[in-house]
Structure 1
């Protein structure tokens, strides 16, 4: 019995087969469905998805046979993969010199008829075949051959999808390792940088205390500038460290009452609210699944920004939400908003507001700051599977919208603060 010669690209072919990680994998319904359909269309008792390994043919799916593999030397499919562009059809194996003394012909399952459509990857590598087998001589009709080829292409698509999934999983694992390394670096860098910066600040204070009476006003101003710069550097390091840590707490999700979160923010801003300078309006909010500390930071950040970047004597921040069905989504989507009557954000600057350390004003304007707040807010939202955006139609300040656990395509175009105002006006007019 002559064994099939090896394909010219055998080493590459075997590596490609190994990369798909499909040989010896568990049964999958999609492949079982394909061999079942192939057997019915071709009216054969046996149908197989056969993959040709180094020394065996292994069956990913099978109908009509009990064994999971055979020796490659006896595999009809080892011959079929040598001709990638055509179905290998054998009408009667006992009359074909390649197979007449094959143990699968002379013994069980007593193959007479065989037809195998090669499974060829987009890179032109034949991994195996989708084949149908019968114990009596026969031929396939033109329609049956076309169907077998079509099912073979579908099988190849499934294998290719598996390969892409494996690659994505590999990238995900590498990204996780990279993120872990980045966090470790952030912690180390934070610790290493904090010490010298803290030292500079302390030395500056000591210098002023010990030699302040010997310094003129210009020297004192320069020392005060050094102090402010070290404070700002310390803040930036702390923000950088916090930003690196945000994505590492997604396994601590739990039900969170957002009304309690807003109440906590109000407590933090008690002095401003009590003075009459700030009003925070909030309606009853729904609960969400999230990480409580991060959600508190999110609302604190957005509400504080509405107060900080505000030139009005009476500063107002409104917190609310809207729920609506988006496109073909099965479940309604809830989006939350934080709107203020502050200075607003010019349209040309809006694409930059979520960039870390990107300030839209002078460093000492509006109380200073690192420029990381909105970047952290976006990362918190995205960590919770949502999106955050600026309401483009909002007038008289800034309105941020965000979702928790929903990132449906085009969601930014569905929610507008003006619509909420309109709904309120209608409800007020009809006495609701």
Structure 2
């Protein structure tokens, strides 16, 4: 409801306005016999009072457009016209229910402005006239009070609706954030898996390119590795894309598919050795097998370390060490010698985006640990510390 603007009414609005119009008209007719002094008026003045009251009742239909102006006019006319009281109650209710608190306070002050004068004259006033005055101000207070109650109720409902909408928006935002995190996890998975497979392809293809006169057995073995690595890369890509589609359609992260564990690191090292990388592997002394996030994180750290060594330090020896004890932490270290210009010949370096190590640090953090990487003297080192809970007694 906005003052001074054209208001379009629904069927419910029309029903309410007609009901309030009938209330205002019936109020004037029903109470006309109980008003003191009304019978003392001349017939002409009573007719004027009734006409003004009828116009005031008709003005009830303007309450949605000009509620404050209507209330002020009716308060002024109500000083001498009894039949205006019903429409006045409706106008005061409308102001209190739909206008700001400050506006309602000003209109209420105007409505109760005659009250001090009435209280001053009350001791010498005849009983019927005093009763009519008290009833009038009580009706004014009741009308404004009911309007204020409706105002507070409307604000409460609007607040609850706004809170529900915000909660719904926040839930949608959380769902979108969760989906984005799943997508980022899948992207990291794709990077880790495919970078490893493709680096193997690049190493063997480079060997064939720079040693075309190699024995047939070595060429056959390199071609076999390339074929197997290509098939494995395609299979990994197919699985990751399938998980991505499932995530998009059903919001699932694909945890049901097989995931690498700490026990698969040995196979990873053998693949690297088969590609010509000199790898020294120091496995965990304990026979414990890690699955889930920690085991997968260890596997990805070693995988990324071996991949980076093939990319940036081809031919350099790599040392992989996994150590630790239950109740303390699991330590993973991948170290390789940083090559000089003679080690990295032209055309042998494998390109990379350099995002894998940042992804590893995020993986370690999500697993509850931490990861450091960088150059230490003549070596490049990746070292991670992951939680290893104590065995239950």
Whether TM-score is above 0.5 comes out as: no
Bigger proportion of residues as strand? 1
Higher helix share: 2
TM-score per shorter chain, which class? Answer: 0.3 to 0.5
TM-score under structure 1 length normalisation = 0.32
TM-score by length of 2: 0.34
